[in-house]
Amino acid sequence: MVASGLPSLAIAVGAVVVVVCLLAVIVFKSMWRVAEPNEALIISGFRSRRDPSAEAESMGFKMVTGHGTLVIPGVQVVRKLSLDLNEADLAVDCVTKQGIPVHLKAVVIYKVGDDFASIANAARRFLDQQNMMDARIQNVFSGHLRAICGSLTVEDLIRERDKLTEATRAAAGTEMQKLGLVIDSLQIQEIDDPTGYIQNLAKPHAVVVMKDARIALAHADREATEIEQQSAALKAESVRESQIKQATYQADVDRANAQAKLAGPLAEATARQSVVVEETKIAQLEAERKEQELQVSVRKPPTPRRTRSERSRAGSETPTSPRRRRARARSSYRRRPTPSASSSARRRRRRQRARSARPRRRRPRRAGRPMAARSRRSCSPRPTVYGRVPRRSRPIRRR
């Protein structure tokens, strides 16, 4: 009996131990609370151990951030305070230093401070009203924005927004510290002017900008037009040069074609021209030959008969030049005795024969002398008779 009861007892004891362990785990799990990184645990009620922070001890509740703690159910109460960022939109109607109403739109980004004092202040004020924090922040910042805008002009609001935000954060810093909140950012988003003051301020600048824009546009249009005209001129010049070259090439081609077509007739004409030139030369030579024959047979005067003394001298003298013969004739004329009647008759007949053989040449008419007053003999040319010098070529005798 005893031996059979031992195994059942051991099993029962083991079962009890397992049940106790499970209960202990369940109870520990229900009592152990861990704070998330973005929250703080606010534990109030009976405290099983003393908190090392004297500040937290004086507050009457326990704050846990970033680690876990044991909470006795039914004796202690655990609540969570969010440490996340919160955003509040501000829409404030203000009046500037100039008395001009403006409407400001801003945004505030805030959160609960990370130190125990800020957490304690926020827990005392917003632990059960965390959804009302935005309204509280709007009221605080609206008042400070109105006060600061009243000391600034519209130009300052437009040009120095950083100055407005810094002044607002400095004015609300103390109140936000009391509330346990920290301002991460304050931005002025928009400034509205219901009276149109800001628009009137912008009109002169807008007009100048519009003028500059129109001037720039006009300059750009002019430059574009000049460039287009230059491009068109260059294009026209290129087309003209191309057409001139094409016309030149076409003229060369047409000339070559015409020369090719006229090669046969041109060769025939060249050959014919050579033949005509030769025939012309032959006819010219023939005419010259006939002219010489006529000159010898008809036009050349007969050689005058010479005297016996001349014939005797001619047999003994050698041929001389005409100039020497004329000089010799002059000298003989000077030494010649008075001619007789027979010699004068012979000379007269020789002159008549020479005159009839040569063509008559009329002398030009002299001014102031009528034609009838001249002798018939003076109009006829004086033939040169061998052995006698003409009247005009006779030397002048000195007295």
Alpha-carbon dihedral sign for residues 312, 317, 321, 324: negative
Q: Per the confidence metrics, is the pTM higher than 0.75?
A: no
pLDDT per position as a tens digit, 286-306: 888 888 887 777 655 555 555
Q: Which CATH architecture has domain 83-195?
A: 2-Layer Sandwich (3.30)
The letter for the amino acid at 391 is: R
Render 36-92 in DSSP notation, one character per residue. -TTEEEEEEE--SS--S-HHHHHHTSEEE-SSEEE--TTTEEEEEEE-S-EEEEEEE
DSSP state, residue 372: T
Half-sphere exposure of 321 (CA within 13 A, CB side): 3
pLDDT at residue 216 in the model: 92
Whole-number Å distance between alpha carbons of 273 and 57:
145
Report whether pLDDT(39) > 60.
yes
pLDDT at residue 398 in the model: 53
Q: Are 64 and 41 in contact (CB under 8 A)?
A: yes
Closest CA to 187 of 172, 173, 168, 159: 168
pLDDT, greater one: 223 or 376: 223
pLDDT per position as a tens digit, 359-381: 555 555 555 555 544 444 444 44
Closest CA to 140 of 185, 108, 95: 108
pLDDT, greater one: 135 or 46: 135
Helix (H, G, I), strand (E, B), or coil: what is residue 34?
strand
Give the C-alpha distances (Å, rounded to integers) separating 245 from 55, 236, 269. 105, 14, 33
pLDDT per position as a tens digit, 57-104: 446 778 888 787 877 777 778 888 888 888 888 888 888 888 888 888
Report whether pLDDT(160) > 50.
yes
pLDDT at residue 50 in the model: 46
Sheet strands side by side (includes 62-64):
62-64, 39-45, 76-82
Place of tokens 């990370």: 114
Q: What are the sequence ranges of the domains in the chain?
A: 17-81, 83-195, 198-250
Name, in order, each residue with C-beta under 8 angstroms of 196's C-beta and a sequence gap of 6 or more: none
Name, in order, each residue with C-beta under 8 angstroms of 79's C-beta and a sequence gap of 6 or more: 41, 42, 44, 127
